[in-house]
Amino acid sequence: MGFWANLLGYQAVWFAAVIGAARDASWVGVAVAALFVALQLSASTERRSDLLLVLCALLVGIVLDGTLAGFGVLHYASHDALLPAPAWILAVWAAFAMTINHSFAFLRGRVDWAVVLGAIGGPLAYLGAARGFGAVVFAAPAWHAVAMLAFGWAIALPLLALLAQRWHRRSRQVGLQGAAR
Q: What angle do CA 49, 119, 65 make, to 5 degrees?
A: 70
**96-148: pLDDT as tens digits:** 999 999 999 999 989 999 999 999 999 999 999 999 999 999 998 999 999 99
**73-104: pLDDT as tens digits:** 999 999 887 899 999 999 999 999 999 999 99
pLDDT at 141: 94
Greatest C-alpha distance within the chain? 62
Query: What per-residue string of b and e applies to 79-117 under the rule 16 or more CB within 10 Å gives b?
Result: beeeebbbbbbbbbbbbbbbbbbbbbbebbeeeeebbeb
DSSP 99-153: TTTTTTGGGTT-HHHHHHHHHHHHHHHHHHIIIII-SEEEPSSHHHHHHHHHHHH
Residue 75's domain comprises: 3-180
Q: Please, is 29 exposed, middle or buried when counting C-beta atoms within 10 Å of its C-beta (0-12, 13-18, 19+)? A: buried
The Cα 121–Cα 96 span in angstroms is 12
Axis-axis angle for helices 87-97, 3-22 (nearest 10) = 170
Q: How far apart are the first and last CA of the chain?
A: 30
How many domains does the chain divide into? 1
The Cα 18–Cα 15 span in angstroms is 5
**27-44: pLDDT as tens digits:** 999 999 999 999 999 999
